[in-house]
Structure 1
Amino acid sequence: MKIQGKMFLWLAVFLLVMAVVYGVWSKEPAGTTALFLAFGLSIMIGYYLAFTARRVDTGAQDNKEADVADDAGELGFFSPHSWQPLALGIGGAFAFLGIAVGWWLLYFSLPILLVGLWGWVFEYYRGENRTQ
């Protein structure tokens, strides 16, 4: 994680320089604002990765002597049968379509988004996996 944190922090420095250069040369506010926002996002991600790297064990990506096989193994738990991302995707598509077509469409997209979000958060709290 140390490498990724440094990469994002260097990207932030680059974006800051480019935002200043672009803003001075173009005097165009939309692109300049987008570059400054990208700088801010890059700083946040780089800081998070650098902060987290201090708290976790050194990974294979931080060891210069590591092989590719050293990083093999389980990466996490991913639900193999979840339908909730589909509901969130449809609700999100309707919500963004509502911005373009009309705000009334948000009344139909909000329940779909809430059902998808509720189902995704509490997906494993029903049936035999429910806690008492």
Structure 2
Amino acid sequence: MKIQGKMFIWLAVFILAMACVYGVWSKEAAGTTALFMAFGLCIMVGYYLAFTARRVDTGAGDNKEADVADDAGELGFFAPHSWQPLSLAVGGALAFLSICFGWWLMYFSAPIIMVGLFGWVFEFYRGENQNQ
């Protein structure tokens, strides 16, 4: 994680320099804003990775003498299947369509989004995936 954190921080520094150069030379607001937002996203990811790397054990990616097999094993717990992302996607699509067709469409998308969020949060408290 240390290496990935450093890579994102250096990428953020590069994007910041390019945003400044692009902003001065082009005097175009949209591209300059997009580059500054990309800088912010890279800083957030790089800070998170660097911050987390100090609290977890050194992985195989940070060891120069590591083999590929050293990184094998369980990566964590993942949900086997879920229908909740589909409902969130439908609700999100309707919410974005409400910008085009009218804000009245938000009255239909908000309940779908709320049902999807509620179902995703409480997915492991009911049904076949319930923890014993």
Q: Same fold (TM over 0.5)?
A: yes
Residue in structure 2 matched with residue 100 of structure 1 by the alignment: 100
Structure 1: runs of 5+ lacking an equivalent: none
CA–CA distance in structure 1, aligned partners of residues 100 and 76 of structure 2: 37
Q: Does residue 1:65 correspond to 2:65, yes or no?
A: yes
TM-score by length of 1: 0.93
Q: What TM-score, normalized by structure 2, do the two folds share? A: 0.93
1:20 to 1:75, Cα distance in 2 relative to 1, 3 A = same
Which residues of 2 match residues 36-115 of structure 1 at below 5 A? Answer: 36-115=36-115
Q: Secondary structure at the match of 2:87?
A: helix
Q: State the Cα distance separating 1:100 from its structure 2 match.
A: 2.0
- Percent sequence identity is 80
What secondary structure is seen at the aligned counterpart in 2 of 1:55?
coil
Q: CA 1:130–1:58 in 2, change beyond 3 Å: closer, same or farther?
A: closer
- 1:29-85 CA-partner distances (Å, limit 9, x unpaired): 111111111111111111111011011100111111111111111212221121111
Name the residue aligned to 1:18. Answer: 18
State the secondary structure of the residue aligned to 1:81.
coil
After TM superposition, give the deviation of residue 102 of structure 1 in Å.
1.7
Distance 1:97 1:46 in 2: 33
2:33 aligns to what?
33
* Aligned residue pairs, count: 131
In 1, Cα distance between equivalents of 2:3 and 2:20: 26
CA RMSD of aligned residues (A): 1.5
